[in-house]
Structure 1
Amino acid sequence: MTRGDQAGTGRTRRGGGYAVGRARRTRILHIAMEEFAENGYRGASLARIAERAELSQPGLLHHFHTKEELLAATLDLRDEMDSARFHSEDGSLLSGSAALYALADLVDHNQRVPGLVQLFTVLSAESVTADHPAHTWARNRYRRIRVVLADAVRDGVTRGEFRADADPETIAIELVALMDGLQQQWLVDPEAVDMAAVFRRHIEALIAGIRAGS
């Protein structure tokens, strides 16, 4: 084997090791999502997460040094999964009715992944106290969602899709409140509450009500 071959093999091994480590980290995060969803932050156990991931606790701590760090990475992954739904194929952010329908699609998706919805609902409820590790995340997440939705409506007004008297900020607050309320009711009584259908009807009525010329 030549020196160049040896160097190439070394790079392949390092690349392969990185891919394996990244895959293991992603698997840990998905398992952590389940644990936090089932038990909340305070009731979640690093030992249980390590066991479910088929790792020793020191092995888990090699990837995430603290429970708080693991929670932050889990929440970041959840946000990345949701955020991707609000971008078009070219990477641009959706706006106007396209963004509102994307929000309805997200609620429809959430109805098929109750564990993720439970994770968000449990942590959101816990994080109302300022000392909770997810408090800042929850506050910033709500602010970010409201801004994205308000901007989507505002862009719709600018492009002439929506009426000029549409109130972007109020609409954003109402949509977030409806999403959270439906999620809570659905988790408690899924057979009685079809949150995806209810939310989509609201989106359709909202768009019809603020559409230019209506």
Structure 2
Amino acid sequence: MAKREEILTVALDLVAQQGFRRTSIKDISDAVGLTQAGLLHYFDSKDELWVEILRRRDAIDEATDWQAKDPGDLLSLIVRHNAEVPGLVQMFVNLSAAAATDPDHPAHAYFRERYENSRRNMTADFRAMQEDGRLRADLDPEQLTSVLLAVSDGMQIQWLFDPSRDMATHVELVTRLAVAQVAAAS
């Protein structure tokens, strides 16, 4: 499926550069030398293509060595990177909102799985921080994870309205408050 991989790579770049709303199936098909029908032969629908672009972005993020010291730092680094690819943030916000409100939306399962994995992994990392004494014992790692994800998602929306907003700074603030509590409690 080399052509499908090429399509996803090119589509990811186009959306990142041009924006979600400004990237059409025609733009992508022209860039890979296919007709629109030829491009959609590789995907069940346009929505499936968009979801697969997000999966590709996630795979790239997962393969990146972010050199993060904790899950909050990792989230902050990813959010900082996202500010460099506004089209992908637009796509994420648009599709996640549509998928959250419609269980039949083609992206619904993707986002449900993505949030479940993020919550599970971040919660486990915060628990490990508690065991190491780097996070207060009276904080609930699952709640901290939910708050960080909510801040991250909410800041993406605010950033789309006003790109001067620094998304990562707000994620870092929540993490610092949780971690700083350890020093204050000692």
Deviation at 1:130, TM superposition (A): 1.1
Alignment of 1:35-184 (within 5 A): 37-38=20-21, 46-85=25-64, 97-128=69-100, 129-184=102-157
Give me the whole-angstrom Cα distance separating, in 1, the residues matched to 2:32 and 2:182: 49
Q: Which amino acid counterpart does residue 38 of structure 1 have in structure 2?
A: R
5+ residue gaps, structure 2: none
Aligned length: 184
Change (3 A) 1:78 1:48: same
Deviation at 1:158, TM superposition (A): 2.1
What is the RMSD of the two structures over their aligned residues, measured on CA atoms? 2.9
Deviation at 1:143, TM superposition (A): 1.3
5+ residue gaps, structure 1: 1-17, 89-93
SS of residue paired to 1:37: coil
Give me the whole-angstrom Cα distance separating, in 2, the residues matched to 1:68 and 1:36: 16
Q: Percent identity?
A: 35
Deviation at 1:181, TM superposition (A): 0.8
> Where do 4+ consecutive residues of structure 1 move more than 6 Å?
none
Give me the whole-angstrom Cα distance separating, in 2, the residues matched to 1:163 and 1:206: 7
Instruction: State the structure with bigger RCO (CA 8 A, min sep 6), 1 or 2.
Output: 2
Give me the whole-angstrom Cα distance separating, in 2, the residues matched to 1:122 and 1:45: 15
| TM-score between the two structures when normalised by the length of structure 2 | 0.81
Listed one character per residue, the Cα deviations across residues 40-60 of structure 1 (whole Å, up to 9, x for unaligned) are xxxx85344313444222432
| TM-score between the two structures when normalised by the length of structure 1 | 0.72
Listed one character per residue, the Cα deviations across residues 113-152 of structure 1 (whole Å, up to 9, x for unaligned) are 1111111111111112111100111111111111111111
Change (3 A) 1:63 1:187: same
- Indicate the structure (1 or 2) with the bigger Cα radius of gyration: 1
Listed one character per residue, the Cα deviations across residues 18-52 of structure 1 (whole Å, up to 9, x for unaligned) are 8x74762343431574588217xxxx853443134
